Structure 1
Amino acid sequence: MEQTAGESRNQDGTVRMTAWVRGRVQGVGFRWFTREQALSIGGLRGFASNRDDGRVQVVAEGDRVACERLLAWLRDGDTPGRVDGVTEIWDTPRGGYPDFAIR
């Protein structure tokens, strides 16, 4: 897979995707369902966390294709609550996540 401008990737092909999800995404089980989706995709480590401004932050590290699948799920509307928009950035993985957690 070619690397696009602005994308960072480890030598093993893993990436870090950080997404901020806007909408009615707190108090509806969104983080729990995000964790379940990440686990069902497999190979992802990171977390989902409520932010003070009402957004949910999702950090996922793993294979680019797996991260893209999680991002597509965040955007497709098949989530609890209501997603009004998702903004993401791609970076080099930092590691340190034993699994995919809810924070």
Structure 2
Amino acid sequence: MEESRESQKWVFSTARERTYSAIASKIDFTSTLGTEEQIQKLVAHSQMINLKFSSLLKNTTKMGQDLVSVIQSLKALHKRLLVIEEHLGVPKRSASNDDVDD
């Protein structure tokens, strides 16, 4: 009697459940999920990628700040050159796209 209850426990009631069971019995889940060693390698690679991405983000942010600094320096230099031109008596140019806007 105990054995019949145990066997009934694994009986699937619908065709869909029987199909899923048949498919699942043919899948090698150990190869699908991978070994612990493979999982550890994936975690290590993921951590390395995160570190490299973090470093890249920091470098990109610093480069952006450096570009802002260069632009500000160029604007200041442009203003100084305009003052020098004025002192030298160079005729002023008409407003054009070449002038730097503040």
Q: Specify the TM-score bucket, using the shorter chain as the normaliser.
A: under 0.3
Larger Rg: 2
Higher relative contact order (CA 8 A, sep 6+): 1
Please, what TM-score do these two structures have when normalized by structure 1?
A: 0.20
Please, what TM-score do these two structures have when normalized by structure 2?
A: 0.20
**More helix by percentage:** 2
